[in-house]
Amino acid sequence: MYAVTVCDHFMIAHSFRGELFGPAQALHGATYAVEAEFRRADLDANGVVCDIGRAMTALREVLAAFDYRNLDAESDFAGINTTTEFLAAEIHRRLALRTAAGDLGPDTADRLTGIKVTLRESPRAWASFEGPIPATR
């Protein structure tokens, strides 16, 4: 299996509901380092998994929807604890949809076996979500 990973970062504010979260129940900020890994069983005719430049652009555009936002004020996240795990899955979902739409180049989505998104909230803690590209291409 081949893989190409691109990375970026974004900053948000949010709070959590539930005693489990202790002081994180109050509004606080977070800066996440993000890695998006694109996987493929074989290389294309150019010898690549996908166009790295297009992958970087797609990731940046997905993250722009979160960057410098208070997620508590976003209607898409009403009633949801926007944990690191949840955000990894949501970024994966949005990135997979863009990939399926052809944002990484022609025929790329048909050949990728999946995407793994990792959010690093500190050097000591991170969460990931991985899954396939939607079949409805």
74-93 pLDDT, tens digit per residue, is 999 999 999 999 999 999 99
Could you give the C-alpha distances from 51 to 54, 67, 79, 89, 123, in angstroms and in order? 5, 24, 37, 23, 28
* 133 in a structural domain: no
Residue ranges, the chain, pLDDT below 70: 135-137
Q: Tell me which residue range forms the domain holding 106.
A: 1-9+49-66+78-123
For residue 34, list its beta bridge partners: 8, 119
Number of domains in the chain: 1
* 92 in a structural domain: yes
pLDDT of residue 107: 82
* 101 in a structural domain: yes
What's the predicted TM-score (pTM) here? Answer: 0.94
Could you tell me the two tokens for 38?
A: 């694109």
* 111 in a structural domain: yes
Contacts of 135 (CB under 8 A, 6+ apart): none
Residue recorded with tokens 């739409």: 101
How confident is the model over 34-52, as pLDDT tens digits?
Answer: 999 999 999 999 999 999 9
